[in-house]
A and B are shown apart, each in its own frame.
Chain A
Amino acid sequence: METPHYVAARVQRALAEDDRTTELGIRVDVRGEEVYLRGQVSCDERRHQIENVAREAAPGLRVHNEITLVEVREPGEEEHL
């Protein structure tokens, strides 16, 4: 079995460099056969693309997509400096 450390590095690079994702802020953790993806993106389509790219970069492993959607709220309270 490939060292989880290198699998994580490969998945993370794929997420950053693949044109479908170009996501630099996704945490990738590999434990045995399981790959965990964590972070925040702004729409569901992007979340799914990240999962697809991660699956391709880690064939045979189980990918857990724990990425959450950033909900852009209406502006809140202002800060006085």
Chain B
Amino acid sequence: MRELRIAAVADIHLGEDLRGHYRKKIEGIERRADVLLVGGDLTRHGTIPEAQVVAEELSGLPIPVVAVLGNHDYHSDCDQEIIDLLRDAGIVVLDDEGTVVPIDGVRLGVAGGKGFGGGFAGKCASEFGEPETKAFVRHTKEIAERWRRALKELDADHKIVLSHYSPVKDTLMGEPPEIYPFLGSYMLAEAADAEGADLFIHGHAHAGTEKGVTPGGIRVRNVALPVIKHAYTVYCLNGDHC
């Protein structure tokens, strides 16, 4: 099986002030990668004009683009419109579901969505007490459940989870520990570990670090733009050899 070259980035936070800038940096991406994964926070305020800039910057590339939204993309309550707009531009947007991208006969499965917070095992919020607390925790639980199902149903040679929120603490190092519960949840890792995946890509933690691993041994990469400091990073998934 041929090796797959996965380009990934998150937190591009585009707006009209940055029109054209990101596109310039990803020209020629097809020579370096087979697919581009974008891990949410595509915009700053989640408005339609900003989403249009995102569509312009990411559409018409010679390789497939798979994206999820981030918390910023929900800010103006236009998340569904943004998803439709991006899909119309030819971008695959995952909203708690999976997709299979065929690459030269190799099937790359990608599952995921925005994700959510709650914290990490031993120090996390639980579904107890006020309705607001329960709703917060339940949101993450339901997302994790949908991801688990999506991963299970993926018929693919390699599987990647694409998220905005983090599944582990490792990649949050550099962020204040007080805000960890707002940066991710162990439930996202648990879903991936239950069904298995080759890689877990996320963003959101601008001050975090790139590399981590789930309790079950899945490699985690935080590709937030301020973390990777490049237009994207390329991860090669091993075929028979590299």
Chain A contacts to B: CB under 8 angstroms: 19, 22, 24-25, 39-40, 42-43, 45-46, 70-76, 78-81
CB distance from A61 to the nearest CB of B (A): 22
Name the CB-closest residue of A to B224.
A25
Contacts of B207 in A (CB 8 A): 25, 39
Mind listing 15 A-B residue pairs with CB under 8 Å? A24-B206, A43-B17, A45-B17, A72-B230, A73-B230, A74-B25, A74-B230, A75-B7, A75-B29, A75-B32, A78-B234, A78-B235, A78-B236, A80-B235, A81-B236
Query: Beyond A25-B207, A45-B17, is A75–B233 a contact (Cβ under 8 Å)?
Result: yes
B230 touches A76 (CB 8 A): yes
A79 touches B233 (CB 8 A): yes
Could you tell me the distance between the alpha carbons of A22 and B72 in the complex, rounded to whole angstroms?
A: 8
Contacts of B1 in A (CB 8 A): none
Query: Beyond A45-B17, A75-B32, is A22–B234 a contact (Cβ under 8 Å)?
Result: no
A72 touches B229 (CB 8 A): yes
Q: Is B63 an interface residue (CB 8 A)?
A: no
Name the CB-closest residue of B to A68.
B226
A25 touches B206 (CB 8 A): yes
Within 8 A of A (CB), among B134-173: none
CB distance from A52 to the nearest CB of B (A): 15
Query: Beyond A42-B18, A43-B17, is A75–B237 a contact (Cβ under 8 Å)?
Result: no
Name the CB-closest residue of B to A25.
B206
Q: Is B202 an interface residue (CB 8 A)?
A: no
Chain A proximity mask over B109-129: 1 for CB below 8 Å, otherwise 0:
000000000000000000000
Report the contact-size class of chain B (Cβ under 8 Å from the partner).
Answer: 20 to 34
Q: Is B225 an interface residue (CB 8 A)?
A: yes
A72 touches B45 (CB 8 A): no
A72 touches B225 (CB 8 A): yes
Query: Beyond A40-B226, A74-B25, is A81–B234 a contact (Cβ under 8 Å)?
Result: no
Q: Is B232 an interface residue (CB 8 A)?
A: yes
A80 touches B17 (CB 8 A): no
Partner of B22, one of A19, A72, A80, A81: A72
Query: Beyond A43-B17, A45-B17, is A71–B229 a contact (Cβ under 8 Å)?
Result: yes
Could you tell me the distance between the alpha carbons of A19 and B43 in the complex, rounded to whole angstroms?
A: 13
Could you tell me the distance between the alpha carbons of A43 and B75 in the complex, rounded to whole angstroms?
A: 21
Name the CB-closest residue of B to A21.
B44
Chain A proximity mask over B194-230: 1 for CB below 8 Å, otherwise 0:
0000110000001100000000000100000110011
B230 touches A79 (CB 8 A): no
Q: Is B48 an interface residue (CB 8 A)?
A: no
Contacts of B231 in A (CB 8 A): 72-75
Query: Beyond A46-B17, A73-B231, is A78–B32 a contact (Cβ under 8 Å)?
Result: yes
Could you tell me the distance between the alpha carbons of A78 and B219 in the complex, rounded to whole angstroms?
A: 15
Instruction: Rank and list the top 5 A-B pairs by shortest CB-CB distance, nearest first.
Output: A78-B234, A25-B206, A40-B226, A80-B236, A80-B242
A70 touches B7 (CB 8 A): no
Could you tell me the distance between the alpha carbons of A23 and B173 in the complex, rounded to whole angstroms?
A: 19
